Amino acid sequence: MGTSVRRYGGDDRVTGSQRFVADLAFTDVAQVSLVTLPVAVADLHAVDTAAARAMPGVLAVVTAADLPQPVPRFGVSHQDRPVLADGEVIYHGEPVAAVVAETLEQAEAAARAVRVDFTEKPGAFDLDQALAPDAPLVRRPELRPDDDPHRESNVLETALYEWGEVEQAAAQAHVVVEDTYTFPMVTHFPIEPGGTVVVPTDGGGLEVHSPVQHPYLLQRSIAQVMGLPLAQVRVFAPDPGGGFGGKQMPKLEPLIAFLALRTGRPCRLVLSLEQTFQMMRRAACRVRARTGFDRDGALVFHDLECDYLIGAYADVAPRVMTKGSYVGAGPYRIPHARTASRAVMSNTTPSTAFRGFGCPQVAWATESQLDAGARELGLDALAIRRRNLVQEGEPFFRGPYAAHADGRWHESLEKAAELIGWDRPLPPGRGRGIAVAIKPGATSGLSQSLVRLLADGSAIAYAGTSDMGQGARTLWQQIVADELGTDLDKVHVVSGDTGVVPFDLQTSASRSTVFMGNAVLEACRDIRRRILALYAESTEIDAEELSERPGELVTPDGVLPLRDAAHVALGALGGEFVGQGTARMRGRKGHPLGGDAAFYEFNCTAIEVEVDHETGELLLHKHVSVSDVGTELNPAQVVSQDEGASIMGLGHSQMEQLLLDEHGVIRNLGALDYRIPTFKDVPLELVTHGIENHDGPGPYGSKGISEGALLCTAGALGAAVSEAIGWVVRDLPLTPERVWTALQEKAATADP
């Protein structure tokens, strides 16, 4: 532990030999193509499938009328998404029919032959349209509970977190700044598009192959929709080629399950990148912020109104809203605070979990407010954060369910300032910004692991965590090697199969190192205890005279490598030792998030940027990211996660946004028209650093770190751009056009 060992499975990733779901071979597999409409919102009158059914190779053409009635619905927070569009389409790309054929070409041709009689209807495609008094309703009121106070609106859920007396404090503040900030819809853009293969089994069961982040959640969802016991649904989860939250929740898997049972054939659907865009995105957000400071720059109050644009179905968006809003006031010492948020439905792609889980949207506003207050008071951005950042153990969320700083967060701030050269004079045309942010880790969870130490000293770890690029299996390999004294290359890790590996709640919230890591660690220590007991029995040495420690058994005659002690304990018949480990965190009744966070991801980002005043183009000279990591179990993987998150944060800060036309159709589908950072866009110098105080709840004092480096990228970049151009931009992304427009606005206000 603590060394940058070679990545488990890394060779397959870089040589191209790794098999993703689209690479898997199945006997007698049929191909699936979807039928969609060229508009986002419509009433469906009829779906004519006759011509399609008669085409060569077609096995089935399925519409909502062919499914059990009422059409089954599924979802995480709300059971609201139909398996196929039922009487209406409420976002662009929602499937109204599915064709199953012998070949993909036949399926696609038949899909084009399906005729849909529909009437386009007005839609709500942005927050203003969705919240207007006469807004078209995304979800029909009859589909919502009778006691739902928002059933006649597009508000799905609300959240309110407050302490102190905001209005009274506002009257007493020396400086009050008030502004509105917007954060765009962006897509996850995994390298591997979505895909699913479902194989019917003898006895009416199903094998589901999907690059899902939560195999056990998918198993439960399929079982519920299909009316099957869990034992008849087996999920195989090959490593996804990128997830970032987009592959957490079920989407089209229930549909493919119905098709497989209907045809009695394995059915495969592999989406294009454009179709993947239509399946998932991050929630857009608009934040109205009002913040007060005293004469010395101390925060007096912070008041936020946050509207998350969540899309056509709930998915996990209400949880995104609550978790992001919970830390809306930031990691600061604020005596009076209020965050009032709404999850607003719209006729757009359903939003879902996305790296940062609602926190980057609000951090963009809060960090920009800190900078606005600093400008009014004549302070710099570093000074005002030094003044207000909480110390270790100090509450940043107050009230009966207070949350406290679980690290020495000031160290990250000071290190980032040092690495960016905060006090160094800047050349003309450049600006520098610094920002901090937090995200709650998991608030409940259950991870279980089995570890087998075999007779030859090799070991197998069974862990249900999905490895989507974060390198989880490498950590399990390292833990087992250290704890059992086994060579690293003799540790094998099994995951991605609900029929083999023990239960793991999910792979999200940067939880894997802490939860599954502790489960693997406990399983190894269980083996060590078992070896000691059987060694005592086999050698007739009193167990009280023995002790064990990582990799070794201490005996009256000296120290034995653990694998040698295991060999002696097992005797001539051989065999193996099996250890079981569980990491459980129960929720807390009444808590706004359902429980206390196991840890907080804290990050400080600092950026130095140069702005071309003729074009508005940005050149990032230096980007610094410093995270509170607890303990770096594998330094190379920590650096990789921070670098990846930093660059992903630059995406939504600089260029990424989904654009819609008047029909609610996404205009920039695919890699050509949707911009993400390339090697030409990354900073000239990207520096990451981890603060290690060994104070985390995970193995050896570790914390989860995979999301921290993008939490406040926008705040740091926005501040740097504002300093470089002398004008504040409050809408993301900071595209050249938007920055150039700001420069023109500045010039216009300077004219006599």
| Residue 389 belongs to a domain | yes
| Residue 552 belongs to a domain | yes
Q: Please report which confidence band the pLDDT of residue 69 belongs to, taking 50, 70 and 90 as the band edges.
A: very high
| Residue 356 belongs to a domain | yes
Query: Is pLDDT of 247 > 70?
Result: yes
Q: Please report which confidence band the pLDDT of residue 638 belongs to, taking 50, 70 and 90 as the band edges.
A: very high
HEC secondary structure over 110-179:
HHHHCEEEEEECCCCCCHHHHHCCCCCCCCCHHHCCCCCCCCCCCEEEEEEEEECCHHHHHHHCCEEEEE
Q: β-strands 73-74, 175-183: how paired?
A: unpaired
In the chain, the percentage of residues whose pLDDT exceeds 70 is: 100
Q: Are 359 and 438 in contact (CB under 8 A)?
A: yes
| Same-domain status, 293 and 395 | yes
d(CA 412, CA 416): 6
What are the φ and ψ backbone dihedral angles of 20, each rounded to 5 degrees? -90, 175
Tens digit of pLDDT for each residue in 409-438?
A: 999 999 999 999 999 999 999 999 999 999
| Residue 160 belongs to a domain | no
CATH code (residue 366): 3.30.365.10
The catalytic position among 707, 723, 737, 745 is 707
Q: Which of 61, 140, 142, 143 is nearest to 96 (CA)?
A: 61
pLDDT at position 573: 87
Tens digit of pLDDT for each residue in 183-238?
A: 999 999 998 989 999 999 999 999 999 999 999 999 999 999 999 999 999 999 99
| Residue 517 belongs to a domain | yes
| Residue 140 belongs to a domain | no
**Residue 365 CB-density burial (10 A; 0-12 exposed, 13-18 middle, 19+ buried):** buried
pLDDT at position 434: 98
Q: Which of 462, 326, 452, 438 is nearest to 389 (CA)?
A: 438
| Same-domain status, 573 and 619 | no
| Phi-psi group of 540: left, alpha or beta (phi > 0 → left; psi -120 to 50 → alpha; rest → beta) | left
Q: Which of 312, 307, 325 is nearest to 281 (CA)?
A: 312
Tens digit of pLDDT for each residue in 554-566?
A: 999 999 999 999 9
| Phi-psi group of 358: left, alpha or beta (phi > 0 → left; psi -120 to 50 → alpha; rest → beta) | left
| Same-domain status, 106 and 230 | yes
- The gap from C-alpha 64 to its chain's centroid, in whole angstroms, comes to 31
Amino acid at 692: E
| Same-domain status, 295 and 421 | yes
Q: β-strands 552-555, 547-549: how paired?
A: antiparallel
d(CA 21, CA 25): 9
| Residue 171 belongs to a domain | no
Torsion of CA 339, 344, 348, 349, to 10 degrees: 60
Q: Which of 601, 605, 576 is nearest to 364 (CA)?
A: 605
| Same-domain status, 421 and 450 | no
Query: Is pLDDT of 14 > 70?
Result: yes
- Cis, bond preceding 733 (omega within 30 deg of 0): yes
| Same-domain status, 551 and 642 | no
- Across the range 90-106, mean pLDDT stands at 98
d(CA 573, CA 561): 20
| Same-domain status, 654 and 709 | yes
Residue finishing a domain among 557, 585, 613: 585
- Across the range 399-413, mean pLDDT stands at 96
Number of domains in the chain: 3
| Same-domain status, 600 and 739 | yes
Q: What average pLDDT does the structure give for the chain?
A: 96
Q: Please report which confidence band the pLDDT of residue 172 belongs to, taking 50, 70 and 90 as the band edges.
A: very high
| Same-domain status, 314 and 408 | yes
d(CA 346, CA 499): 38
Amino acid at 94: E
Per mean pLDDT, which range of 378-392, 448-462, 501-515 is the poorest? Answer: 501-515
Q: Are 473 and 493 in contact (CB under 8 A)?
A: yes
Q: β-strands 491-494, 459-463: how paired?
A: parallel
Residue found by looking up tokens 């110390």 in the block? 391
pLDDT at position 509: 80
Amino acid at 135: A
Tens digit of pLDDT for each residue in 641-691?
A: 999 999 999 999 999 999 999 999 999 999 999 999 999 999 999 999 999
pLDDT at position 751: 66
| Residue 230 belongs to a domain | yes
Residue found by looking up tokens 């034992």 in the block? 231
What are the φ and ψ backbone dihedral angles of 316, each rounded to 5 degrees? -110, 15
d(CA 514, CA 509): 10
| Same-domain status, 497 and 431 | no
Residue found by looking up tokens 């295991």 in the block? 566
Query: Is pLDDT of 752 > 80?
Result: no
Annotated active-site residue 707? The verdict is yes
| Same-domain status, 201 and 57 | yes
Q: Which uninterrupted H or E stretch holds 98?
A: strand 97-101
Q: Which of 566, 41, 637, 587 is nearest to 349 (CA)?
A: 41
Query: Residue 253 is part of which domain span?
Result: 10-121+194-270
Q: How many helices (H) and strands (E) does the chain have?
A: 18, 30
Residue found by looking up tokens 């045309």 in the block? 429
| Same-domain status, 545 and 690 | no
Residue finishing a domain among 585, 617, 639: 585
Tens digit of pLDDT for each residue in 605-617?
A: 999 999 999 999 9
- Across the range 349-361, mean pLDDT stands at 97
Query: Is pLDDT of 304 > 80?
Result: yes
- Cis, bond preceding 70 (omega within 30 deg of 0): yes
pLDDT at position 410: 98
What are the φ and ψ backbone dihedral angles of 736, each rounded to 5 degrees? -55, -40
d(CA 645, CA 623): 12
Amino acid at 443: T
- How distant, in Å, are the alpha carbons of 325, 355, 452, 504, 711 from that of 508? 18, 9, 26, 11, 16
CATH code (residue 218): 3.90.1170.50
Residue finishing a domain among 585, 607, 630: 585
